[in-house]
Structure 1
């Protein structure tokens, strides 16, 4: 007589633990896929992510003049990953894109002046120098 309630109680407890585990897995998956958090723009591999995004932007442009970094508007990282959101502004310089030291090159002035705001979502594996750009959007400002 006493074994039936104990077996039922044990099964209910196991079912509850199973549902809790499934709930935690669903929650973990949601957090892992969706959540970007603000980070210091000097932390982790964010600075080399910015450098790579600028390099790719310049390489992909038909313009022979280089754009250089102006400022970071937003620096974020996806929780528990190496995926970064880079939101930055760049300005068109008077230097060609394959010149050295573009960072010290003056910006275009007057009618040739152009600035862009770009948002990149990318994975950076810094110790392998591996970059994957998942999405990028640039608009002239």
Structure 2
């Protein structure tokens, strides 16, 4: 009886370990197409949700990860405030503000991508001014 309980307990622990490995985040290339699209979506969503009238653009990707067996991406981004309004066309080529209007923000985003439908959902975001 003790052997059966020990074996059962061992299997439960092993299954828990295997299950947690499958759902952890792993580092990925910053150049993977769906990750790049997820970054663009996160920056767009930040600009849409932000009350600031000026647009922010991507300065640096600090972390690029994907949850195993999913299309959920975790990213840490640095963004800078531009001189362009947030609904202008070419924000990527817009210069950053200098002087009193200069502002940078660091954000962590969790984005769920559905590649077949090219649909993205922002699951979570946390931002702090730098």
Q: TM tier, shorter chain?
A: 0.7 to 0.9
Larger helix percent: 1
> Distance between the aligned counterparts of 1:48 and 1:20, measured in 2?
42
Contact 1:66 1:97 in 2 (8 A): yes
Deviation at 1:62, TM superposition (A): 1.1
**Mapped pair 1:31 → 2:31:** no
2:71 is aligned, of 56, 74, 82, to 82
Aligned partner of 1:42 in structure 2 is 31
Aligned partner of 1:7 in structure 2 is none
Deviation at 1:23, TM superposition (A): 5.1
Q: Secondary structure at the match of 1:128?
A: coil
- After superposition, the Cα gap between the structure-2 partners of 1:25 and 1:132, relative to the gap in structure 1 and judged at 3 Å, is farther
Deviation at 1:44, TM superposition (A): 4.6
**Mapped pair 1:64 → 2:53:** yes
Q: Secondary structure at the match of 1:127?
A: coil
> Distance between the aligned counterparts of 2:18 and 2:110, measured in 1?
21
**Mapped pair 1:117 → 2:92:** no
Q: Which runs of 5+ in 1 are unaligned?
A: 1-11
Aligned residue pairs, count: 127
Deviation at 1:81, TM superposition (A): 1.0
Q: Which runs of 5+ in 2 are unaligned?
A: none
Deviation at 1:21, TM superposition (A): 6.2
Aligned partner of 1:98 in structure 2 is 87
> Distance between the aligned counterparts of 2:112 and 2:21, measured in 1?
17
> Distance between the aligned counterparts of 1:133 and 1:121, measured in 2?
6
**TM-score for the superposition, normalised by structure 2:** 0.86
RMSD: 2.0
Higher CA-based Rg: 1
